[in-house]
Amino acid sequence: MFTGIIEAVGMVAAIEMQQGDMRLYIRTGALDLADVKLGDSIATNGICLTAVELPGDGFWADVSRETLAHSRFEQLQVGERVNLEKAMMPSSRFGGHIVTGHVDGVGEVVERYDDARSIRLAIRAPQNIRRYIAGKGSITVDGVSLTVNAVDGELFELNIVPHTAEQTIIQQYGPGHPVHLEVDIIARYLERLLGGAATEPQAESAGGGLSMELLAQSGFLNR
């Protein structure tokens, strides 16, 4: 599990295609690897990768076909910069929100402009995850925990403060830039839970769908 607070910006040092999937070598820059062991997880642009080799200045990771199908990793290039975060420890301060490192889809930056010292972004979300994005809710963009300013149809807006821009790859974003998106895990599980609850006899007799009664039955409201 991760928090969406980026610890360092690394660089893609090598890409190897092997029997239909990928092997990546990421140089980790300022990321402290002293406590990283083989098998540990490092989020790379928001995607949870397992360190399979630790040569000293970075890590090698295998990227499955499943990950390739739901990310932009097939378009990665040697020399490209990436956001990095080690998996959180039980004693870590929880600075962002719950991030799994399991990307839900690839969005696209459609607008960028300056707003005082901040950067404002409008991002187009894939249709299958738009329902999970809410104004003032949380979303992960290339591994960065961010708050959604507003939602307008297929677009959602973000405000990037100077520190976040300086410590991540967001500074390089412009219109047309693809980004990994992970929605709030609570929204995903809430939909699944309510979808299952809606198949129960009492829910079917009430016509299904989301209601205050269904929320109460599912334990989200105090009666």
Average pLDDT, the chain: 89
- 94 CB neighbour count, 10 Å cutoff: 10
Of 39-48, 75-84, 187-196, 205-214, the one with minimum mean pLDDT is 205-214
Same-fold call for 8-86 versus 105-184: yes
The HSE-up count of residue 110 (CA atoms within 13 Å, CB side) is: 12
Residue 20 and residue 65 in contact, taking contact as beta carbons nearer than 8 Å: yes
Of 96-105, 141-150, 163-172, 192-201, the one with minimum mean pLDDT is 192-201
Q: What is the mean pLDDT of residues 93-119?
A: 92
Tell me phi and psi for residue 49, to 5 degrees: -115, 145
Residue 63 and residue 23 in contact, taking contact as beta carbons nearer than 8 Å: yes
Q: Where are the domains of the chain?
A: 8-86, 105-184, 186-217
Residue 185 and residue 98 in contact, taking contact as beta carbons nearer than 8 Å: yes
Tokens of 193: 């839970």
pLDDT at 91: 64
pLDDT digits (tens, 9 = 90+) for 1-37: 899 999 999 999 999 998 889 999 999 999 999 999 9
Instruction: Give, in order, the Cα–Cα distances in Å from 105 to each of 71, 116, 142, 159.
Output: 6, 30, 11, 21
Percentage, residues of the chain above pLDDT 70? 86
Q: Which CATH architecture has domain 8-86?
A: Beta Barrel (2.40)
- 57 CB neighbour count, 10 Å cutoff: 14
pLDDT at 186: 87
pLDDT digits (tens, 9 = 90+) for 36-47: 999 999 999 999
pLDDT digits (tens, 9 = 90+) for 198-213: 444 444 444 455 566 7
Specify whether domain 105-184 bears CATH 2.40.30.20: yes
pLDDT at 126: 97
